[in-house]
Amino acid sequence: MHEFPVRVYYEDTDLAGIVYYANYLKFIERARSEWVRGLGIDQGALKRDHGIVFAVRRVEADYLRPARFDDLLRVTTALVELGGARIVLDQAVWRGDEALFTARVVLVCLSDAGSAARMPADLRALLTAG
């Protein structure tokens, strides 16, 4: 399981002083990007060499508890399923041992034309090794 730290800044909060709901999606996006980078995958090279990119197809999210200004959070990312052109991840935002937000995220590999594209074998190997 990959972990990524996030500090809540003033700009992340709403008028009530809690993290605005859409910002949790930004937090998990950053964590996914770092998860991929940590596996040794260069997304720029993936696009250049194979003509494919990752795109979010679906997010199922549960907002459990609010995060507040200056909280130190951690985002976890775990691979659930790997298909030919699809990746399913479970992600969560934590404050200590308390889950604040959970999401099931479905990613697809897209070609330059915008259609689903099979992942190259070397990419699949990196994703399963991590």
C-alpha count within 13 angstroms, C-beta hemisphere, residue 126 = 14
Give residue-wise pLDDT tens across range 52-93: 999 999 999 999 999 999 999 999 999 999 999 999 999 999
Strands (DSSP E) contained in 2-127 are 2-7, 52-63, 72-82, 86-95, 98-111
Q: Is 112 a catalytic residue?
A: no
Domains and CATH numbers, the chain: 2-129 (3.10.129.10)
Mean pLDDT, all residues of the chain? 93
Provide the angle, in degrees to the nearest 10, between the axes of the packed helices 43-50 and 21-38. Answer: 70
The DSSP secondary-structure symbol of 75 reads: E
CB distance 107 to 75 below 8 Å: no
User: In this predicted model, what pLDDT tens digit does every residue of 7-58 receive, in sequence order?
Assistant: 999 999 999 999 999 999 999 999 999 999 999 888 888 898 888 999 999 9
Q: Which of 14, 49, 62, 122 is catalytic?
A: 14
pTM for this model (two decimals): 0.90
